[in-house]
Amino acid sequence: MMDVTDHDVVIVGSGPAGLSAGIFTGRAGLDTLIVNDGTPILRRNAHLENYPGFPAGVNSRLLLDMMDDHAERAGCQRREARVVAIEPDDPGFVVETESNNTLTATSVIAATKNTVDFLEGINDVKLIERGKSFVKTDDRGRTGVPGLYAAGRLALQPYQTIIVAGHGASVGVAVVEDSDTPFYHDWVAPEGYFTGRNREVPPGCEEIDAEERQRRERESLNLMREYFAEPHPDDPIQHPSMRGE
């Protein structure tokens, strides 16, 4: 039995679901490690045309790169490794990787689309077989094991990027809500929004003045120009059967 864990949260899988979850747990101040092996399936998409905010569509590989950077900026650490087992071990979980590394975490979010082998055999985790494998959860991604969550396609969400990303965010917030971290909303509000009404700025929220708002907007404009300055260098990845695999 361990006394303290290495991380508050380990997220397995760095597709849109896992990265979105990490953006919310990281921003809430939870020590978050995202472990991934392999390639998010969205890298196969040719042009992403149904992600809100991009009326003419967006290169899906660029969007994933931006989500990666966003998770890092939110404070998430990253590790390339294949997770092969998760074992509940009060007060959290032991996460084993293929290279025999052992990580410990208070909470684990599985966001691995249809890969469930590392979840097999855990009491109270219900796997669902529908041609592919999924994990049964409540609507916030909670499995039957306290502290163990599933997000995105793995949690039987519809097979669309915005939906799995939104579900990852919802699961990330569920982890925050289930932890000891004081939380209200992850909001940035203009100066006076709360304090001007004699209210404390709630936990998780921030008030910023006009100067800081303009600084952040300038930074955002500059960064977005860099992302969108040139076409993305990578082509879509073909289906494995087309690659002779």
Ligand X SMILES: Cc1cc2nc3c(=O)[nH]c(=O)nc-3n(C[C@H](O)[C@H](O)[C@H](O)COP(=O)(O)OP(=O)(O)OC[C@H]3O[C@@H](n4cnc5c(N)ncnc54)[C@H](O)[C@@H]3O)c2cc1C
Q: Which residues bind ligand X (CB under 6 A)?
A: 12-18, 35-42, 44-45, 48, 50, 82-83, 111-113, 115, 118, 152-153, 159-161, 164
Q: In the complex, what is the shortest distance from the CB of residue 57 to ligand X, in angstroms, rounded to a whole number? A: 8
Q: In the complex, what is the shortest distance from the CB of residue 168 to ligand X, in angstroms, rounded to a whole number? A: 7
The residue number with the shortest CB distance to ligand X is 15
Q: Which of 19, 20, 8, 29 is nearest to 204 (CA)?
A: 29
Q: In the complex, what is the shortest distance from the CB of residue 3 to ligand X, in angstroms, rounded to a whole number? A: 26
- Under 8 Å CB-to-CB from 214, ≥6 apart: which residues? none
For ligand X, which is the closer residue by CB, 39 or 102? Answer: 39
For ligand X, which is the closer residue by CB, 161 or 194? Answer: 161
For ligand X, which is the closer residue by CB, 106 or 161? Answer: 161
Q: In the complex, what is the shortest distance from the CB of residue 18 to ligand X, in angstroms, rounded to a whole number? A: 6
Q: Which of 76, 71, 84 is nearest to 8 (CA)?
A: 76
Q: Which of 124, 126, 102 is nearest to 35 (CA)?
A: 102
For ligand X, which is the closer residue by CB, 76 or 204? Answer: 76
The amino acid that residue 24 corresponds to is F
46-70 burial, b if ≥16 CB within 10 A, otherwise e? eebeebeeeeeebbbbbbbebbbeb
For ligand X, which is the closer residue by CB, 27 or 153? Answer: 153
Q: In the complex, what is the shortest distance from the CB of residue 43 to ligand X, in angstroms, rounded to a whole number? A: 8
Tokens matching residue 97: 């990787």
Burial class (CB in 10 A: 0-12, 13-18, 19+), 168: buried
